Amino acid sequence: MARVDSENTTPMPVDPTRRRFLSTAATLAAGGAALAVAIPPALAADDPILAMIAVHKKLRAGWQEISDQLDEAEFDAEKEHGRRPAALIHWRNYHIGGSEIDSRREQLLEAGEIDPATIEQEYLDAKARYHARVAAGPAWDELTGLSALRKDADRGFAAEWRYVKRLARTKPTTPAGTAALIQYVLDDDFSDDESYWHMTALRSAVAALNSMSAAVAS
């Protein structure tokens, strides 16, 4: 996607508990996949998850190509028009946007160190400034002629995101498909991804392994 201005963002803290949970779950699931190889394959040679992984790879590659084009176009446009306004505002030592503004309001109220009326007035001002920043982005796109390309990138991302959620909810039907799904998760940068579709996929893999084990045992 478009380059991020490091001066306009506040790094999100890493959740070590969640990271450890993700890593442990991936390790356990990978071990289960190795055990699954010993299970006789299903009568059906094709596992739907294999085709879905292939489709998702194409969707992601397509979106990434458009995103790279947008990055390059933005970089060129910045030389004449400056950087695209980021949808972030500054409020009491934080550069935030979207729902983060509401969360910051709650934090300040709970702390009880500032008069609530002051917080509420600052909150309303922050929301107004944020909406102005949001509107400035599309205006910059129109000025630089990048509106169509950004819409293409947004559509590509939305299509890829919808599909990967569907993929993550699909339970593999063969040991090979289960191993492929687990490997697909492990190959992705799941520890830093904010969507966490990976956990849903790992749960689907575990459910598949349990189903195959039960079938062998019966």
Going by C-alpha positions, the residue among 6, 54, 21 that lies closest to residue 184 is 54
Q: Provide the pLDDT confidence category of residue 7 given band limits of 50, 70 and 90.
A: very low
In a domain, 10, yes or no: yes
Q: What is the mean pLDDT of residues 65-74?
A: 96
How confident is the model at residue 60, as a pLDDT? 94
pLDDT of residue 20: 57
Residue 119's CB is within 10 A of a number of other CB atoms, namely 19
Owning domain of residue 48 = 6-217
Residue 26, pLDDT score: 54
Q: Would residue 80 count as lying in a domain?
A: yes
User: DSSP letters of 24-68?
Assistant: HHHHHHHHHHHHHTTSPPPSSS--HHHHHHHHHHHHHHHHHHHHH
Pairwise pLDDT comparison (22 vs 202), residue with the higher score: 202
Domains contained in the chain, number: 1
Amino acid at 2: A
Longest dimension (CA), the chain: 70
137 in a structural domain: yes
**85 vs 138: CA distance, rounded Å:** 9
| pLDDT tens track for 27-41 | 555 555 454 444 445
Return the bridge partners of 205, or none.
none
Would you say residue 201 lies in a domain?
Answer: yes
**Residue 109 near residue 119 (C-beta atoms within 8 A):** yes
Which residues have a Cβ under 8 Å from the Cβ of 201 and sit 6 or more positions away?
167, 168, 181, 182, 184, 185
Q: Looking up tokens 């001002």, which residue turns up?
A: 125
Half-sphere exposure of residue 136: CA atoms within 13 angstroms, side-chain side: 15
> Does residue 42 carry a pLDDT above 90?
no
146-193 pLDDT per residue, tens: 999 999 999 999 999 999 999 999 999 999 999 999 999 988 876 555
Which tokens in the block code for residue 95?
A: 């550069």
- Residue 94 domain flag: yes
- Give the residue-averaged pLDDT of 44-53: 84
Q: Which long-range contacts (CB under 8 A, 24 or more apart) does 77-81 make?
A: 77/144, 77/145, 77/146, 80/144, 81/140, 81/143, 81/144
1 belongs to a structural domain: no
Of residues 157 and 215, more confidently modeled? 157
Q: Are 137 and 84 in contact (CB under 8 A)?
A: yes
Tokens 């400035």, located at residue: 136
Token couple for 70: 């947008």
Within a domain: 117: yes
